[in-house]
Structure 1
Amino acid sequence: MLGCVLFTAMHLYALNIAPIETWTFRILHIAGGLMVGFAITAAMSVDPEGGAGKGSRPAGIERFAALITALASGYAGACALALWGLSEGPGVAVTNWLPLHLAVALAIASVAGVVSSWCFPSRGDRIHWPDLALMVSALVVAAFLIFVLGRWRMAAGTPLVGTPELLVSASGVLLIMELTRRIAGLALIAITSVFLLYAFAGPYLPGILEHDGYTAKRFFTYLYTDSGVLGPTTAVSSTYIILFITFAAFLQASKVGDYFVNFAFAMAGRSRGGPAKVAVFASGLMGMINGTSAGNVVATGSLTIPLMKRVGYHPLSAGGIEAAASTGGQIVPPIMGAGAFIMAEITGIPYTEIAFAALIPAALYFLAIYLMVDLEARRDGMQGLPKDQLPLVTEMLKRVYLFLPIIILITTLFMGYSVIRAGTLAMASAAVVSWLTPHWMGPKALLRALELGARMSVPLIAVCACAGIIVGVISLTGVGARFASMLLGLADTSHFLALFFAMCISILLGMGMPTTAAYAVAASVVAPGLQQIGISPLVSHFFVFYYAVLSAITPPVALAGYAAAA
Structure 2
Amino acid sequence: MTQADNISAQQAAGPIVAQNVDDEPVASNQRLHANWTNKAIIVLCIAYTAFHIGVMNLYPLETWTYRLIHVCGGLLLGFLIYSAVQLPVAVPERVRRNPIEWLLLLVGVGGIGYGFAMIAYAWGAYWVAGIARPPAFVFSTYGLPLLAGTAAALLAAWFFPSRDRTRVDWADYALGVASIAVLGYILFNVGPLRLRAGTAMAQPADFYAALVGVILILEVTRRVAGLALVVIASIFILYSFAGPYLPGFLAHRGYEARRFFTYIFTDQGILSDPVAVSSTYIILFITFAAFLQASKVGDYFVNFAFAAAGRARGGPAKVAVLASGLMGMINGTSAGNVVSTGSLTIPLMKKVGYPAKTSAAVEAAASSGGQIMPPIMGAGAFIMAEVTGIPYTDIVIAAIIPSVLYFASVYFMVDLQATKLGMKGLPKEELPVFKELLKQVYLFIPIIMLIYTLFAGYSVIRAGTVSMMAAAVVSWLTPHRMGPRLLAKAFDIAARMSVQLVAVCACAGIIVGVIALTGVGARFSSLLLGIAEQNQLLALFFAMCISIVLGMGMPTTAAYAVAAAVVAPGLVNLGIPVLTAHFFVFYFAVMSAITPPVALAAYAGAALAGSDPMKTSVESFKIGLAAFVVPFMFFYSQAMLMQGTWLEILHVFVSASLGIYMLAAAVQGWFFGALGAPLRLVLLAGALSMISGGLVSDVIGLVVGGSLFLYQRRFVTTEAIARGVD
> Could you tell me the TM-score, scaled by structure 1's length?
0.98
Structure 2 match to 1:85: 124
Structure 2 match to 1:59: 98
Structure 2 match to 1:208: 249
- Structure 2 counterpart SS, 1:142: helix
Query: Could you list the runs of 5+ residues in structure 1 that have no partner in the other structure?
Result: none
> Does structure 1 residue 435 correspond to structure 2 residue 476?
yes
Q: Which amino acid aligns with 1:180?
A: T
C-alpha deviation, 1:424, in angstroms:
0.8
Structure 2 match to 1:74: 113
> Does structure 1 residue 478 correspond to structure 2 residue 529?
no
| Structure with more contact order per residue of length (Cα contacts < 8 Å, sep ≥ 6) | 1
Which of these residues, 408, 413, 429, is aligned with residue 372 of structure 1? 413
Sequence identity of aligned pairs in percent? 60
> Does structure 1 residue 97 correspond to structure 2 residue 137?
yes
Q: Which of 504-513 and 95-104 deviates more?
A: 95-104
C-alpha deviation, 1:64, in angstroms:
2.7
1:145-198 alpha-carbon deviations (Å, 9 max, x no partner): 011111111111101112111111010000000000011111111111111111
Contact 1:245/1:289 (8 A) holds in 2? yes
Q: Which amino acid aligns with 2:135?
A: T
C-alpha deviation, 1:213, in angstroms:
0.1
Structure 2 match to 1:317: 358
Considering only aligned residues, what root-mean-square deviation do their CA atoms show, in Å?
1.2
Q: Which of 82-91 and 239-248 deviates more?
A: 82-91
> Does structure 1 residue 299 correspond to structure 2 residue 343?
no
> Does structure 1 residue 16 correspond to structure 2 residue 48?
no
Structure 1 match to 2:370: 329
Contact 2:104/2:155 (8 A) holds in 1? no
Contact 1:84/1:90 (8 A) holds in 2? no
| Counterparts of 1:535 and 1:309, CA distance in 2 | 44
Contact 1:340/1:355 (8 A) holds in 2? yes
C-alpha deviation, 1:90, in angstroms:
8.9
Structure 1 match to 2:150: 110
| Counterparts of 2:528 and 2:217, CA distance in 1 | 32
C-alpha deviation, 1:45, in angstroms:
4.1
Which of these residues, 412, 419, 432, is aligned with residue 391 of structure 1? 432
- Structure 2 counterpart SS, 1:440: coil
| Counterparts of 2:151 and 2:588, CA distance in 1 | 37
Which of these residues, 33, 42, 57, is aligned with residue 83 of structure 2? 42
C-alpha deviation, 1:292, in angstroms:
1.1
Structure 1 match to 2:212: 171
List aligned pairs for 1:179-328, cutoff 5 A: 179-328=220-369
- Structure 2 counterpart SS, 1:435: helix
| Counterparts of 2:130 and 2:146, CA distance in 1 | 19
| Counterparts of 2:585 and 2:606, CA distance in 1 | 27
1:183-226 alpha-carbon deviations (Å, 9 max, x no partner): 11111111111111111111000001000000000100010011
- Structure 2 counterpart SS, 1:214: coil
1:384-407 alpha-carbon deviations (Å, 9 max, x no partner): 101111111122101000000000
Q: Which of 124-133 and 60-69 deviates more?
A: 60-69
| Counterparts of 1:274 and 1:148, CA distance in 2 | 59
- Structure 2 counterpart SS, 1:337: coil
Structure 2 match to 1:30: 71
| Counterparts of 1:200 and 1:121, CA distance in 2 | 33
1:239-289 alpha-carbon deviations (Å, 9 max, x no partner): 011110111111111000000000000000000100000000001101111
C-alpha deviation, 1:143, in angstroms:
0.7
Q: Which amino acid aligns with 1:479?
A: V
List aligned pairs for 1:502-521, cutoff 5 A: 502-521=543-562
| Counterparts of 2:265 and 2:304, CA distance in 1 | 46
C-alpha deviation, 1:498, in angstroms:
0.7
C-alpha deviation, 1:134, in angstroms:
0.7
Q: Pick closer, same or farther for the CA change 1:495–1:90 going to 2, 3 Å.
A: farther
| Counterparts of 1:334 and 1:46, CA distance in 2 | 38
> Could you tell me the TM-score, scaled by structure 2's length?
0.76
| Counterparts of 1:165 and 1:473, CA distance in 2 | 18
1:74-120 alpha-carbon deviations (Å, 9 max, x no partner): 21121111111224899932212211222122212221121110011
- Structure 2 counterpart SS, 1:114: helix
Contact 2:77/2:499 (8 A) holds in 1? yes
- Structure 2 counterpart SS, 1:159: coil
Query: Could you list the runs of 5+ residues in structure 2 that have no partner in the other structure?
Result: 1-41, 608-726
Structure 2 match to 1:558: 599
| Counterparts of 1:192 and 1:90, CA distance in 2 | 40
Q: Which of 22-31 and 116-125 deviates more?
A: 116-125
> Does structure 1 residue 461 correspond to structure 2 residue 502?
yes
Q: Which of 330-339 and 99-108 deviates more?
A: 99-108
Q: Pick closer, same or farther for the CA change 1:297–1:126 going to 2, 3 Å.
A: same
1:407-435 alpha-carbon deviations (Å, 9 max, x no partner): 00000000000100111111111111111
Structure index of larger Rg: 2
C-alpha deviation, 1:50, in angstroms:
5.2
Structure 1 match to 2:687: none
- Structure 2 counterpart SS, 1:212: coil
The aligned length equals 562
| Counterparts of 1:328 and 1:471, CA distance in 2 | 25
Structure 1 match to 2:38: none
Structure 1 match to 2:644: none
Q: Which amino acid aligns with 2:94?
A: G
Q: Which amino acid aligns with 1:51?
A: R
Q: Which amino acid aligns with 2:308?
A: M
| Counterparts of 2:560 and 2:131, CA distance in 1 | 36
| Counterparts of 1:26 and 1:410, CA distance in 2 | 27
Structure 2 match to 1:417: 458
| Counterparts of 2:86 and 2:360, CA distance in 1 | 28
| Counterparts of 2:165 and 2:108, CA distance in 1 | 20
Structure 1 match to 2:198: 157
- Structure 2 counterpart SS, 1:412: helix
Q: Which amino acid aligns with 2:145?
A: A
Contact 2:125/2:131 (8 A) holds in 1? no
Which of these residues, 538, 552, 564, is aligned with residue 497 of structure 1? 538
| Counterparts of 1:396 and 1:112, CA distance in 2 | 57
| Counterparts of 2:69 and 2:433, CA distance in 1 | 48
- Structure 2 counterpart SS, 1:127: coil
Contact 1:276/1:318 (8 A) holds in 2? yes
Q: Which of 39-48 and 27-36 deviates more?
A: 39-48
Q: Pick closer, same or farther for the CA change 1:91–1:532 going to 2, 3 Å.
A: farther
> Does structure 1 residue 145 correspond to structure 2 residue 186?
yes
C-alpha deviation, 1:564, in angstroms:
0.5
Which of these residues, 572, 575, 596, is aligned with residue 534 of structure 1? 575
- Structure 1 counterpart SS, 2:399: helix
- Structure 2 counterpart SS, 1:336: coil
1:474-499 alpha-carbon deviations (Å, 9 max, x no partner): 11000000000111111111110110
Q: Which amino acid aligns with 1:52?
A: V
